Structure 1
Amino acid sequence: MRDQDKSVAIIGCGFVADLYMRSLQTFPDIRVTGVWDHDAARLAAFCAHWGLSAAPDQTALLDMLPKDGVVLNLTNPGAHFEVNSACLNAGHHVYCEKPLAMTVAEAKTLTDLAASKGLQLASAPCSVLGEAAQTLGQAIRNGTAGTPRAIYAELDDGFVPQAPFRKWMTESGAPWPFEDEFRVGCTLEHAGYYLSWFLAWFGGVRSVTAASAEVIPDKAGTGPFAPDLSVATLFFENGPVTRLTCSIVAPHDHGLKVIGDNGVLTCNAAWDNSAKIRYARRMTVRRKLLEHPFPKRLRIAGETHPKTGRWGAASMNFALGPAEMLDAIAEDRPSRLSGNYALHLTEVTLAIQNAGDDTGAQKMTTTCQPMEPMPWAT
C-alpha cells in the first residue's frame, strides 16, 4: 500500500465524528474518500466544516473506497450490527466505534463474517495504543513494581444527568446525543477505556462477577435507560484480580492503580494519551509501611505517536486505531484491535453492563491473547 492509498470512509457524522476528524489531521497520509449519514442536514454541515465529499448513499460511499481502505463506522450503537454487516458484505475492512455490537451473539456473527471474507473488523477505543497505556504496559512487562497482584480502576464521570449537556456541541454543530448515551449506558460507552488496557497486558478474562443498576431515575429523554453504575471484579486466565467501576453518578475519577509486590503504578487520566504514569515504591519508615510520597514518573524513550490538543474532557487521538489498522492491512497482519480481541472486549463489557443484581459469576465464552506492544514501546 502506498501512502497515498491509505484511505478511510466515514459512516455517521454525529458527535464523535468531529473527534475523529481532528485526530485524522495528525495523519496527513490518510485521506477521507467520502462521508455518508442518513441525516442530510448533519451530513452537509459536517462535510462543509471539514471540506469533505458527501456520498449520495451508503452503497455509493462503499464503492468509492479502495479495497485496502477502512470504513469508520461512527453511527449510534444501535446501528452498529447492521452497518458493520453491510460493510463486510461489501468486501471492506471495518473499524467500529464501541461497542462492536449490542449483543454477544451479534458480535460473534460479525467476527465470523469478517473471518470468512478475509477481512478485518476492529473495535474502539484505541487509547490502548496511546502513550499512557503503552508506558504502563512497558512498566508491567519490565517488572517495575514487581508482580502485579491487584488492579483498582475507576471510570466515574460525575453526576452527568445534572450537567449542562444540552450545551455540549462539536465544532461542526453536532449536539451530544444524551438520549442515546443514557439508553446505551456508561459501561458500554466507557468501560473499554481501561478494560482494553487490561486485555492488552494480560489477555483473556476467565470470569466476571459484577453488579449494575440504574440509580438515577427520570433522566432526560425517552427510556428505557441502561444502568448508570456498574462494579465488576475480573478474573483473568493469567493476570491479577481487577476491580473496575463505571458510573455517571460518582464525582469524576479516572484513577488506575496497579498494585505490585514492590510498589504501585498509577495513572489518573484515562482520556489523555499523555497522562503521567508514576511508580511509588513500597518502603518502611520506623514501624510503618507506606508507598513513597514522591512517586517517580515513568516515560518511554524516544518519539511515540501524534498527539491532539484537548477538546472537552478528552485529549485522545481517535485516529490511532484506524492508522494502526491501515498499517496492518499494508503489512498483511492482523490489526491489534481486531478479531478475537474485539470480540472478547465486547463480551466482557456486556457481561458487566447486563449483570444486574443477581447474575453472579459469569464464565466468558471468548478469549484473546495479550497484545503486541507498539514498536516504540518494546
Structure 2
Amino acid sequence: MNIAIVGCGYVADPYMETLHYHANLTLLGVADLQRERADILANYYKTSVYDSTEALMADPAVQIVVNLTEPKNHHRVNMMALNAGKHLYCEKPLGMNLDEAREVLALAEEKGLMVSGAPCSVLSETAQTLWKAVEDGAIGKPRIVYAELDDNPIYRMHPEGWKNARGIRWPYLNEYETGCTLEHSGYYLTWLCSIFGPAQSISSFSSCVVPDKTDLPLNPANTPDLAIACIVFASGVVARLTCSIVGTYDHRIQMVGDEGVLTANECWHYAAPVYLERFSQLSLNARKLRSVRGSNWLKWVFGVGGKQQKLVTKPLSQYPDRIREFKNKERGMLGLLVKMLSKRELVSMDFFRGVAELAEAIENKRRCHLPADFVLHVNELALAMQTAGETSEPYKLTTTFEPVRPLQRTLDSQQKYGGDSRNLLASLIEKMIERLHKH
C-alpha cells in the first residue's frame, strides 16, 4: 500500500529505520514545512520529496498519510489528510484536546476512511505475550496492575545536545511544553486498554515539580512533568500508572491476579522478557524475607519472580539492521557501535508496525487492531492524566471502544504455563518458611 510521510523531524528516523520490515508498504515520498529537513531525510533514506504538504495530499497515488509532525500540528494535518481522501496514521497524541480528536473521528466516519495511531507497541511480542497469558488464565482473575513510565531526570542529561544520525536535534523544548504524559503514557495505556478493555474512571494527580528545567522560555511554562493515575476499568481491574521525566528510569509493569503475577521491565523493547510467577504459599511467604529479595539465587530457589516465558512469536531479526548500519559509511565505526549497542540495550521498537497493520486492515476490509475509537479513548485518558492538576476529582470517561483482540498469530500460539514455581529444594523447606512468616 502506498504511503507518504508528513513531518521529517527527529521522530521520522525511528520510523524509517523499520520500514524495510514491511513489504506491504511503499513509501512514495515525504514533506515538511522545512524543505531542508525533507531533503536531508529523503537523501539519507533514498526516497522522494514533495514540494509541499498540499502537493503530497493532492497525489492520488497516496493511500495512507503518516503524520509525524509536532503535536501542535497534528490536528491540522490530520484534517488535511482526511479531506484529501487519505487514510490516516497519526503519531501521539491524536489531538491536543478532546474536541480536536473527536473532529478527526467524525470526519473519518463521514469520509469512510480509517484512522489509527501511535504508539503501536501493544503489537509487540512482549505485549502480545502478556495479553495471551492473561486471556489463557495464567494468573487467574486479574485484579491490579502497576506500571511505571519514569524516563530519568532528562533536564540533568543535557538534552540540548541530543541529535540523530541526520544531525536533527531532539526537540526537548517541545517535549517540555507538550508534556511527557501526552507523549509517553500511551505506551502503557494502549496495553492496559487492549488487555482489560475500556476504562470507566480515572483519578489523577499531575504537577510541574521542576519548573526550572531550562533557562529558555517555555509556552506553557508549567506543563506537568509528573502524573500519577489510578484507572478503574469496566472489567473490574484497577491500574496505577506513573509517568514522569523526573524519576530515574523505570519501565516495569506487573499484572497481578488471584493465582499469579506477570512482569516485564520494558515497553520500549519489543522483545523484552516476560516472567510468570504462579503463586504458592512458599513464594508468597519467602518474598517477605530481606535475604530472598536481595538474592537472585534465593528468588529462584523459592520461586519468587517466576519463570521467563517463551514469547508468542519470534522477534524480528536484528541482523539486517546491523548489516545495513555496517554499510553506512556516513556513520563511522564509533557511530555504528553506539547504534548497535542502543538497539540491544535501549530502545528497540518497530515504529512502522502499526502503519503496516492498518494497511493490512484496509486491504482486507476489516477493523484494524488500533482502531479510531480505541485511539480516541487512549487520548482521553492521557489528557485526563496530564490536566488533572493537584486537586482533581475522579474523572468519568466520556468515550469508549469496541473490544479489541490480540493478533491472530498470538491467538494461534501454544504457550505452556505450568503449575506453581516451586522446585524440589523449595518444597522441602516450605514448612520452615511458613513458620517464619507467622508472628
TM over 0.5: yes
Alignment of 1:80-119 (within 5 A): 80-119=74-113
Alpha-carbon deviations, 1:15-64, whole Å to 9, x = none?
11000000112123422101100012211111111111110011211233
Question: Counterpart in 2 of 1:377?
Answer: 410
Alpha-carbon deviations, 1:323-357, whole Å to 9, x = none?
00000000011222122101101011100010001
| Pairing 1:51–2:43 present | no
Amino acid at match of 1:248: I
Question: Counterpart in 2 of 1:275?
Answer: 272
Could you tell me whether the CA contact under 8 Å between 1:303 and 1:376 is conserved in 2? no
Percent identity between the two aligned chains: 38
- Per-residue deviation, 1:305: 5.3
**In structure 2, distance between residues paired with 1:345 and 1:172:** 32
Amino acid at match of 1:172: R
**Secondary structure of residue in 2 paired with 1:25:** helix
**Secondary structure of residue in 1 paired with 2:133:** helix
Q: Which segments of 5 or more consecutive residues in structure 2 lack a partner in the other structure?
A: 288-301, 322-339, 412-439
| Pairing 1:255–2:252 present | yes
Amino acid at match of 2:3: V
**Secondary structure of residue in 1 paired with 2:266:** coil
Question: Counterpart in 1 of 2:432?
Answer: none
Question: Counterpart in 2 of 1:352?
Answer: 385
Question: Counterpart in 1 of 2:28?
Answer: 33
RMSD: 1.8
**Secondary structure of residue in 1 paired with 2:65:** strand
**In structure 1, distance between residues paired with 2:283 and 2:353:** 48
Question: Counterpart in 2 of 1:134?
Answer: 128
Structure with higher helix content? 2
Structure with higher strand content? 1
- Per-residue deviation, 1:285: 3.2
**In structure 1, distance between residues paired with 2:348 and 2:313:** 20
Greater mean alpha carbon deviation, residues 159-168 or residues 56-65: 56-65
Amino acid at match of 1:211: F
**Secondary structure of residue in 2 paired with 1:279:** strand
**In structure 2, distance between residues paired with 1:95 and 1:306:** 25
- Per-residue deviation, 1:87: 0.6
Alignment of 1:144-155 (within 5 A): 144-155=138-149
Alpha-carbon deviations, 1:236-289, whole Å to 9, x = none?
111410000000001100010101111210010110000001011222239926
- Per-residue deviation, 1:302: 4.7
Question: Counterpart in 1 of 2:290?
Answer: none
Greater mean alpha carbon deviation, residues 308-317 or residues 173-182: 308-317
Give the alignment partner of residue 16 of structure 1, picking from 11, 15, 33.
11
- Per-residue deviation, 1:294: 5.3
**Secondary structure of residue in 1 paired with 2:361:** helix
Greater mean alpha carbon deviation, residues 24-33 or residues 281-290: 281-290
Q: Which segments of 5 or more consecutive residues in structure 1 lack a partner in the other structure?
A: 1-5
Could you tell me whether the CA contact under 8 Å between 2:230 and 2:241 is conserved in 1? yes
Question: Counterpart in 1 of 2:137?
Answer: 143
Could you tell me whether the CA contact under 8 Å between 1:282 and 1:289 is conserved in 2? no
Greater mean alpha carbon deviation, residues 152-161 or residues 307-316: 307-316
Amino acid at match of 1:299: K
Amino acid at match of 1:137: W
**Secondary structure of residue in 1 paired with 2:21:** coil
